[in-house]
Amino acid sequence: MKVDSRPGARATQVRTSAKAFLSIFLSFAFVFPTGFALPTPAAGAAAKDKKVKQDPALKGLPITELSADEAILHALNRLAYGPWPGDVERVRQMGLAKWIEQQLNPNAIDDRAAEARLQQFSTLRMSSAKLLAEYPQPKQQQKQAAATEARTERPGDAAAATIARDMSGKGAQEQAADAESAESMKGDTNAAASMKQEPAAEMNAATRGAGKRDLLGGGDPNAVPRAIADDSKRPQRVVEELAMAKVARAIFSQRQLQQVMNDFWFNHFNVFAGKGEDRWFLTAYERDVIQPHTMGKFKDLLTATAKSPAMLFYLDNFLSADPRAADRMAAEQAARQWRRGGFGRPWPPRAPQQQQAKKNVRGLNENYGRELMELHTLGVDGGYTQKDVTEVARCFTGWTIDKPREYADFKFDERLHDPDPKIVLGKKIHAGGMKDGEQVIEVLARHPSTAKFISTKLARRFVSDTPPPSLVERMAQTFQSNDGDIRAVLKTMIYSPEFWSREAYQAKIKTPFELVVSTARALGADVDTPMPLVQWTGRIGEPLYQCQPPTGYADKSDAWVNTGALLNRLNYSLALAGNKVRGSRSDVGSLLGPEADGDAKAALNRAVQIFLGGQTAATTVETLEKQLDSPQLLQAKLDDPVKRVDLGVVAGLVLGAPEFQRR
């Protein structure tokens, strides 16, 4: 594109044009690339009324309100984590529709380069069992866990052990709580104190006040967490690697839409890493449960989450049992003893005395049943009642975890299951055993409320905070007529005029994760060590895998626009562009080109062009120019008497612009 190659000329134009006018101008700029005289604002306004002829790069897409540049940038901001240097041009060459098709079929995209970057994270390829074995709890908790297990756990079966514990007079909930290590809870019950503050979590007991750490948790994002620094087998490392991999994939994967969808579904089916054993389960959860289904059938995804140890643990279903299960098991046990004891004992067999003390008997846990409908499928207004919650919970009794500290596999335990018929949303469920829960999944996955709820969430993520109801309606129709096919729903959305409307353009505020990743992409940063980026993400307000409530992180701007967060966004862009983020390097000099070197104004205009697609308010550029007159911006080097522009500052300023906070 010619406009790109003539930074100086464009700069003048940008300065003198208003934002709305500018976009129109852009659409003309490549039609009349050379010798194009500066149009007056009036001419621009007149041009707006004219029907813009569609660019060939946009062929096949219902784009009428956006210019080609805008449409491509829009696609890269919504279906990917923002443009990598040169992406806009590449997509233009290829044709936007073709790029979208590729993104919708990620497995056909060669992604070996990105995968190679993940090789260093060995935990990504381990099973939960292996992670539990290789990254055990530190000593104190180990002792505690051993004590707990010795006291209560019978081999082979956690939930039945729970029943046994209950019968021994100890509440299952506190047993589960025992499993949560003292240290992990110190840090992790507090959503704010997450892995990014791992050292702080340890300050409570032995090391309190000892170190020179930043006690207020502002922390240095460049600091190396202990589990990384000493290459230890601390369990924190598992989630840290997971988070680093997430950042690395989002920056480097060619399968960008896949990464966006991973993030979307993980957040939809959120599991908090700080809850007890879940820190060991999340790796498999993301890899085996979320990723394979991101563009498949919703029902398969839902089923996979329902059977995942991560979700079973997080929402307590692994402890949920038919309240009569304890009686049944006690009776069976007594019967066995009676048989073993031979004749001469009274019939019917009686359970031992202590087992009849029922006040702590484990019963139904509604946690999963409620969230399954409220957050995973129907939505809070999806038309279910408290009775439905209880009935669904009954259906899922017996869906538990086999040896949560050893194998952590899904297991259906018939003994804990409530065998009686249930009624869910007016439908009788009486398939028996594990089929009860599967039938509920079937009913929920096909429910019209689910189609609408999922479509709304997708549209909110991809289109705007308040997506047009007409679009949501069409997406929901696609959902229902295609058996919950997520790819089909995405297509309906992407091929809608609403997706490409002026209203949707730049309508979303980037989440902290989107900001961190898109900034690195914009700079074409090389990232050897993503940990500081993980820590910046937390600092800006979205600690990865640390969302405590099952709702997941918010997908609306009001959650992300606050002063502390904004300041951290600005400081992040300064740090990254200034190559002050450990393990990340970018070459702003070559991005901005040779003209930028000795000329602050040229550098600024080039940065605006590259990072903001040339789109910023004229006054912004003007004011920035004034600021750039500052003598400090020209840094003199010892071996080089010629003063140079500090390009890192220029890039950092532009990446901190309001326009870059949006996508």
Partner 1 sequence: MSHECCEGVRGLRFSRRYFLKQGGIALVGMSAMPAFLQRAAAATAMPNKKQLVVLFQRGAADGLNIVVPFSEQNYYRLRPTIAIPQPRRGGADAAIDLDGYFGLHPSLAGLEPLFRKDQLAIVHAAGSPDPTRSHFEAQDFMESGTPGVKATEDGWLNRAMEAVPEENASPFRAVAMGPNLPRMLHGSASAIALPDLRQFKVMPQSPAMAATVQGGFEAMYAQTVDHALHGTGTETFEAIDMLRKVDPGKYTPEHGAQFPTNRLGQSLQQIGQLLKANIGVEVLFVDCGGWDNHVNEGGVQGQLSNLLKDLGQGLAAFHQDMGDRMQDIVVVTMSEFGRTAKENGNRGTDHGHANCMFVMGGDVKGGRVYGAWPGLADHQLNEGRDLALTTDFRLVLGEILSKHNGVLDLNAVFPGFENNPRRFAGLIKG
Any contact of residue 207 with partner 1 (CB under 8 A)? no
Report residue 92 as tokens.
Answer: 């233009």
- Compute the 3-state secondary structure of the chain and give helix, strand, coil in percent, each to the nearest 5: 60, 5, 35
By CB under 8 A, the count of residues binding partner 1 is 94
Q: How far apart are CA 530 and CA 179, in angstroms?
A: 31
Q: Taking Cα atoms as reference points, which of 113, 127, 58, 37 lies closest to residue 495? A: 58
Residues 538-557, interacting with partner 1 (CB under 8 A): 538-539, 541, 543, 548-549, 551, 557
Amino acid found at 582: R
- Given 191, 420, 421, 432, the residue binding partner 1 (CB under 8 A): 191
Beta bridge partners of 261: none
User: Which CB atom, from 43 or from 559, has the smaller least distance to partner 1?
Assistant: 559
User: Which CB atom, from 316 or from 402, has the smaller least distance to partner 1?
Assistant: 316
How many angstroms separate the first and last alpha carbons of the chain?
22
Report residue 9 as tokens.
Answer: 């000329």
Closest distance of CB 503 from partner 1, Å = 14
User: Which CB atom, from 439 or from 546, has the smaller least distance to partner 1?
Assistant: 546
Handedness of CA 400, 404, 410, 413 (dihedral sign): negative
Annotate each residue in 412-441 with x if it binds partner 1 (CB under 8 A) or - if it does not, as one string. ------------------------------
Any contact of residue 77 with partner 1 (CB under 8 A)? no
Residues 4-43, interacting with partner 1 (CB under 8 A): 19
Q: Taking Cα atoms as reference points, which of 230, 222, 145 lies closest to residue 183? A: 145
Any contact of residue 575 with partner 1 (CB under 8 A)? yes
- Given 62, 85, 171, 589, the residue binding partner 1 (CB under 8 A): 171
Q: How far apart are CA 576 and CA 651, in angstroms?
A: 9
Closest distance of CB 290 from partner 1, Å = 20
CA distances from 429 to 376, 385, 420, 437, 582 (A): 20, 16, 9, 9, 56
Closest distance of CB 525 from partner 1, Å = 16
Closest distance of CB 407 from partner 1, Å = 24
Span interacting with partner 1, options 7-15, 247-255, 478-486, 653-661, rule CB under 8 A: 653-661
Residues 498-537, interacting with partner 1 (CB under 8 A): 509
- Preceding amide of 106 cis, omega within 30: no
- Given 45, 109, 129, 566, the residue binding partner 1 (CB under 8 A): 566
Any contact of residue 646 with partner 1 (CB under 8 A)? yes
Closest distance of CB 539 from partner 1, Å = 6
User: Which CB atom, from 124 or from 203, has the smaller least distance to partner 1?
Assistant: 203
User: Which CB atom, from 193 or from 395, has the smaller least distance to partner 1?
Assistant: 193
With contact defined as beta carbons under 8 Å apart, do 36 and 29 qualify? yes
User: Which CB atom, from 482 or from 548, has the smaller least distance to partner 1?
Assistant: 548
DSSP codes, 106-132: GGGS--HHHHHHTTT-GGGG--HHHHH
User: Which CB atom, from 490 or from 516, has the smaller least distance to partner 1?
Assistant: 516
Any contact of residue 198 with partner 1 (CB under 8 A)? no
Span interacting with partner 1, options 36-44, 79-87, 124-132, 206-214, rule CB under 8 A: 206-214
- Given 230, 385, 627, 643, the residue binding partner 1 (CB under 8 A): 627
Residues 254-313, interacting with partner 1 (CB under 8 A): 272, 275
Q: Can you give the length of the chain in residues? A: 663
Closest distance of CB 481 from partner 1, Å = 30
Any contact of residue 649 with partner 1 (CB under 8 A)? yes
What DSSP designation does 355 have? G
Any contact of residue 62 with partner 1 (CB under 8 A)? no
Amino acid found at 442: E
- Given 247, 624, 645, 647, the residue binding partner 1 (CB under 8 A): 624
Q: How far apart are CA 657 and CA 623, in angstroms?
A: 12
Residues 128-147, interacting with partner 1 (CB under 8 A): 140-141, 144, 147
CA distances from 51 to 25, 65, 562, 615 (A): 13, 9, 40, 21
- Given 64, 105, 291, 367, the residue binding partner 1 (CB under 8 A): 367
Q: How far apart are CA 428 and CA 295, in angstroms?
A: 31
With contact defined as beta carbons under 8 Å apart, do 39 and 25 qualify? yes
Please name the residues in contact with 194: beta carbons below 8 A apart, sequence gap of 6 or more.
187, 188, 274, 538, 543, 546
Any contact of residue 193 with partner 1 (CB under 8 A)? yes
Residues 310-349, interacting with partner 1 (CB under 8 A): 316
With contact defined as beta carbons under 8 Å apart, do 66 and 606 qualify? no
Report residue 210 as tokens.
Answer: 């000892």
- Given 154, 208, 345, 502, the residue binding partner 1 (CB under 8 A): 208
Q: How far apart are CA 470 and CA 473, in angstroms?
A: 5
Residues 148-167, interacting with partner 1 (CB under 8 A): 148, 151
| Count of CB atoms situated within 10 Å of the CB of 156 | 12
Closest distance of CB 623 from partner 1, Å = 4
Please name the residues in contact with 212: beta carbons below 8 A apart, sequence gap of 6 or more.
none
- Given 130, 186, 350, 415, the residue binding partner 1 (CB under 8 A): 186
Any contact of residue 190 with partner 1 (CB under 8 A)? yes
With contact defined as beta carbons under 8 Å apart, do 38 and 643 qualify? no
User: Which CB atom, from 18 or from 52, has the smaller least distance to partner 1?
Assistant: 18
Q: Taking Cα atoms as reference points, which of 352, 423, 364 lies closest to residue 396? A: 364
Any contact of residue 201 with partner 1 (CB under 8 A)? yes
Closest distance of CB 280 from partner 1, Å = 18
Any contact of residue 401 with partner 1 (CB under 8 A)? no
SS3 call for 509: strand
User: Which CB atom, from 46 or from 561, has the smaller least distance to partner 1?
Assistant: 561
- Given 438, 648, 651, 663, the residue binding partner 1 (CB under 8 A): 648
